[in-house]
């Protein structure tokens, strides 16, 4: 176990991505002692390896890496982009990797860039400590590629792939109106491989271990390990590396979580009434964020706080997102106060908003709110009958700014 600022780091099983970080940041020499040298692989090698282990991206979308690689054209790939914007407010895993194991992330990105013939590697980061560590790591090695570290803003939608690409070219860090795949039109409108920080660290481990050894732990369908960020009503918040498919209940016990509902997948994720009977795998686990709510706070009041923050994060360019999320905030406000019209309007707006924005923000926000109404049905009944559930809103769910 070690501490990075406010983040505790732990492991269930054998560490892979977090090997050696219990002694602090791995400089290049310690990185090589811990992981060995990065083998030179071809594009075909990466395709076969990622397909064999079913590796999925470790950001929110959990898209299969092999499919993304297969979608790239044979030639003319402009860049490999490491998305380290980690805009989910609770998530800590990517900044932790960039800060403590920067060379593992760089190995994954540069190894793939060489295999794809991409001349540029771009690393988008918004955390100052992580940016400093990755810049220091670049001075400790020579990859023979044009590698650039760019600071990006920390807003929620600024982490969306196309928002990152826009920011990297000096544009606004918001998704453009059209949905275009980075594999077709990415950096400088040219084919680009973009994925999140943990994906590149996984690629570096996979390149070293090969498919068979990589598959010696975790699920058969998606073997290996995963990084999870645990927060909320837990005694030991932080980042945990576990085999894929570990029971949620085991992770919650390990983190010292209070009994009660669990939010799986962050603020675009889903509520579960409790942690029993769930195994942690993609796509459900999304970017690996798990929040315990406990039983001594008002769930609907907590959800309303997060809804206000989610609405504030809209990039303000799509009507259904701007007006729909604002309406849902108002609906939940009235529901919390016991107004049945608030509940009915929330149900109606939840059906109207999804699928109509230029990015996944409204859909993810609605998923979070809809699953709250489902998981907290008894609390809805209490609020409508008595004007409340008898519990204060304690602010268990972290939101930036803290004013919600």
Residue 161 interacting with ligand SF4 (CB under 6 A): no
**Residue pair 141/130 in contact by the 8 Å Cβ criterion:** no
Q: Are strands 146-151 and 262-264 parallel, antiparallel or unpaired?
A: unpaired
Smaller CB distance to ligand SF4: residue 80 or 315?
315
Binding ligand SF4 (rule: CB under 6 A), the pick from 161, 321, 373, 396 is 321
Distance of alpha carbon 285 from alpha carbon 56, whole angstroms: 12
**CB of 390 vs ligand SF4, minimal distance in Å:** 35
Examine residue 327 and tell whether it contacts ligand SF4 (CB under 6 A): no
List the interface residues with ligand SF4, window 301-320 (CB under 6 A). Answer: 314-318
Nearer to ligand SF4, 162 or 270 (CB): 162
In the set 16, 114, 361, 367, which binds ligand SF4 (CB under 6 A)?
A: 361
Segment interacting with ligand SF4, rule: CB under 6 A, options 5-13, 239-247, 304-312, 354-362: 354-362
Q: Which of 108, 159, 182, 362 binds ligand SF4 (CB under 6 A)?
A: 362
Only one of the segments 212-220, 222-230, 358-366, 394-402 lies at the binding site for ligand SF4 (rule: CB under 6 A); that segment is 358-366
Question: Is 217 or 312 the residue whose CB approaches ligand SF4 more closely?
Answer: 312
Residue 357 binds ligand SF4, judged by CB under 6 A: yes
The yes or no reply on residue 166 touching ligand SF4 (CB under 6 A) is no
Q: How many residues does the chain have?
A: 404
Taking the complex as a whole, the smallest distance from the CB of residue 355 to ligand SF4 amounts, in Å, to 10
Residue 242 CB coordination number (10 Å)? 22
∠295-301-305 over CA atoms, to 5°?
A: 120
Q: How far is the CB of 127 from ligand SF4 (least distance, A)?
A: 22
Residue 19 has, within 13 A of its CA and on its CB side, a CA count of: 18
Write the burial class of residue 181 (CB in 10 Å: 0-12 exposed, 13-18 middle, 19+ buried).
middle
Measured in whole angstroms, how far is the alpha carbon of residue 213 from the centre of its chain? Answer: 26
Question: 13 vs 316, which CB is nearer to ligand SF4?
Answer: 316
Q: In terms of CB distance, is 68 or 361 closer to ligand SF4? A: 361
Could you say whether residue 174 binds ligand SF4 (CB under 6 A)?
yes
Rounded to a whole number of angstroms, the minimum distance from the CB of residue 351 to ligand SF4 is 17
CB-based closest residue to ligand SF4:
357
What is the binding site for ligand SF4 (CB under 6 A)? 157, 174-175, 314-318, 321-322, 357-359, 361-362
């Amino acid at each position: 176990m070690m501490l990075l600022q406010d983040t505790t780091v732990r492991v269930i099983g054998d560490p892979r991505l977090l090997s050696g970080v219990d002694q602090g940041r791995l400089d290049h020499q310690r990185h090589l002692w811990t992981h060995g040298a990065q083998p030179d692989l071809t594009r075909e090698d990466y395709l076969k390896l990622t397909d064999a282990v079913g590796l999925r991206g470790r950001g929110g979308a959990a898209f299969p890496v092999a499919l993304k690689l297969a979608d790239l054209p044979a030639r003319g790939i402009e860049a490999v982009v490491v998305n380290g914007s980690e805009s989910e407010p609770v998530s800590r895993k990517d900044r932790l990797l960039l800060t403590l194991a920067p060379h593992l992330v760089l190995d994954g990105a540069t190894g793939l860039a060489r295999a794809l013939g991409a001349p540029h590697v771009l690393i988008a980061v918004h955390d100052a400590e992580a940016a400093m560590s990755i810049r220091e790591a670049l001075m400790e090695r020579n990859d023979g590629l044009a590698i650039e570290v760019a600071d990006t803003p920390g807003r929620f939608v600024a982490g969306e792939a196309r928002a990152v690409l826009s920011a990297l070219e000096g544009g606004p860090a918001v998704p453009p109106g059209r949905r275009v795949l980075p594999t077709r039109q990415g950096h400088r409108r040219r084919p680009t491989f973009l994925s999140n920080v943990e994906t590149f660290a996984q690629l570096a481990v996979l390149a070293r271990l090969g498919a068979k050894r990589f598959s010696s732990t975790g699920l058969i369908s998606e073997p290996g390990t995963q990084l999870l960020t645990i927060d909320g009503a837990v005694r030991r918040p932080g980042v945990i590396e576990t085999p894929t498919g570990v029971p949620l209940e085991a992770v919650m016990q390990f983190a010292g979580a209070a009994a009660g509902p669990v939010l799986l997948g962050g603020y675009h994720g889903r509520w579960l009434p409790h942690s029993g009977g769930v195994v942690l795998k993609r796509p459900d686990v999304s970017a690996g964020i798990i929040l315990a709510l406990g039983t001594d706070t008002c769930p609907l009041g907590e959800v309303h706080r997060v809804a206000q923050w989610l609405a504030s994060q809209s990039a303000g360019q799509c009507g259904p997102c701007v007006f729909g999320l604002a309406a849902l905030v108002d609906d939940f406000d009235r529901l919390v106060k016991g107004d049945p019209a608030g509940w009915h309007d929330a149900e109606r707006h939840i059906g109207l908003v999804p699928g109509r924005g230029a990015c996944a923000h409204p859909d993810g926000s609605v998923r979070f709110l809809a699953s709250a109404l489902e998981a907290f049905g008894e609390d809805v009944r209490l609020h409508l009958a008595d004007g409340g559930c008898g519990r204060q809103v304690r602010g268990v769910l972290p939101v930036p700014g803290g004013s919600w």
